[in-house]
Structure 1
Amino acid sequence: MNRLLCFLILLVATAPVLAATRCGGRLVDEGDRDFRVRERCGEPFWSESWLGVDVSNRGSVYEQQREVEWSVWYYNFGPRALMLRLVFQDGVLHSSETLGYGVTRIGESCRANMNFTGLTSGELVARCGEPAHRREARDSVVFRPGPGIENWRERRREEWVYDFGGSQFQRVLTIVNGRVFSAEPLSR
């Protein structure tokens, strides 16, 4: 009984620390400002950003629109550690996600026959480097959680082309909102 009580006290005492994300040897937590995260984690190897608009009181005499900036930073801590994806909203850490294992060198772990689908853009850049060709398009998606409230978000669609040289097919990857949606071979 005493052991269980000690364990529960220890668990409760460390709960806030367990919620934090380890970034190399330092901790970051939701709500941290982007400059603090940069101080603790260093420069990300890949980042992307986009804008959204939050509308309140739509259709009334006084409508308010607020631009929201979203940023995603990717960190690679080497092949023996998991990569990290940090999402910021208006410069404040909103969420974090651990990804697959990192790489020794950016862009040197790519194969033409690998499964690209589901990778984040950061994982893709870590393994394959930046694409030979890149094209972007953006759509607006409107979410209406209640009367008079709208959240406008960009749906980012990108087409990345990787050339594996020689007689191998090129790969055309469709990326939607930062994740590989499809991969198609492209003959020479």
Structure 2
Amino acid sequence: MRVSLSIRVLMLMMLPGLAALPGVANGAFRCGTSLVDVGDWPVEVEERCGAPDYVATYPTATVPGVGVVGEVEHWYYNPGPQGFIRRLEFRDGELKRESSLGYGFAGDSAGDCSPVRLQDGLSEFEMVAYCGEPISRRVTWETVGRGSMAVGHYRPKTLVPVEEWLYETGKSQFRRIVTLRNGRITQVETTKKPQ
């Protein structure tokens, strides 16, 4: 009986720590002294958290002759090196997901676009902070998951943006192409400038 009680106590002590780990998404989360939850409107999140440090917007659906009819937005909040960067995903005007990325960075990190910095998993927000905006972008969509019926629930396929960002590398004759899937770096390659 004592062992069982000790294990329960230990598990109860560990749960808050697990919820704070980077990449662990949970329902509600703290933003200062307020709570933000999945389903909130963007204006409600901004009222509680302030303006985001960076916003990336992607169309999710277009209709010929009409234009964009659906969007996904990634909002980033950088608390500095003492906290984790938060990424909020809004679809069609509703908060759908929150995730914590790696530690934030100080404002003096901007401009350090060395190849060592550009590692897999770096967010689009960090990429822009370190390297600035690209000189050109391409966006395509990739289907993730598959639709299925599981115990009466349909799991739809998810579309995620796949981008290629083109950067100048200074006065050299090379350019850098950075591929991002769903807002995270997955590949960096160097290419020659066309003559």
Q: Which of 30, 36, 54 is residue 38 of structure 2 equivalent to?
A: 30
Given that 1:135 and 1:159 are in contact with CA atoms closer than 8 Å, whether structure 2 keeps it comes out as: yes
Which amino acid is 1:177 matched to? Answer: N
Aligned to 1:61: none
* Count of residues in correspondence between the two structures: 166
Q: Tell me, yes or no, if the aligned pair for 1:109 and 1:127 is still in contact at 8 Å.
A: yes
Q: Which residue of 1 aligns with 2:96?
A: 94
The equivalences for 1:31-50 within 5 A come to 31-47=39-55, 48-50=57-59
> What letter is aligned with 1:162?
Y
- The one-character-per-residue Cα deviations of 1:15-65 (angstroms, maximum 9, x if unpaired) are 8xx763233554322232221101111222322233269xxxxxxxxxxxx
Q: 1:51 aligns with which of 44, 60, 64?
A: 60
Q: Output one character per residue of 1:57-115: Cα deviation in whole Å (capped at 9) or x when no partner.
A: xxxxxxxxxx7643221112223332110112332222211112223337434323324
Alignment partner, residue 23 of structure 2: none
Give the C-alpha shift of residue 152 in structure 1: 5.4
SS at match of 1:74: strand
Is contact 1:21–1:29 with CA below 8 Å preserved after alignment? yes
Partner secondary structure for residue 122 of structure 2: coil
- Higher relative contact order at CA 8 Å, sep ≥6: structure 1 or structure 2? 1
* Alignment CA distance shift 1:168-1:28 (3 Å): farther
Q: Which moved more, 1:167-176 or 1:80-89?
A: 167-176
Matched with 1:56 is: none
- Deviations along 1:121-179, one digit per CA (max 9) or x if unpaired, are 223223322112222233556832239x6845434221112223144843211122222
The corresponding residue for 1:74 is 76
Alpha-carbon distance in structure 2 between the residues aligned to 1:79 and 1:180: 20
Structure-1 separation of matches of 2:47 and 2:126: 23
Question: In the alignment, what sits opposite 1:170?
Answer: 175
Matched, 1:111 2:114: yes
**What CA distance in whole angstroms lies between the structure 1 residues aligned with 2:33 and 2:168?**
36
TM normalised by structure 1 equals: 0.67
Q: Are residues 24 and 134 of structure 1, via their aligned partners in 2, closer, same or farther at CA, if it must alter by over 3 Å?
A: farther
Q: Which sits farther off after the overlay, 89-98 or 33-42? A: 89-98
**Shift of the alpha carbon at 1:180?**
1.4
Q: Unpaired runs of 5+ in structure 2? A: 20-25, 63-68
Query: What is the identity, as a one-letter code, of the residue corresponding to 1:51?
Result: T
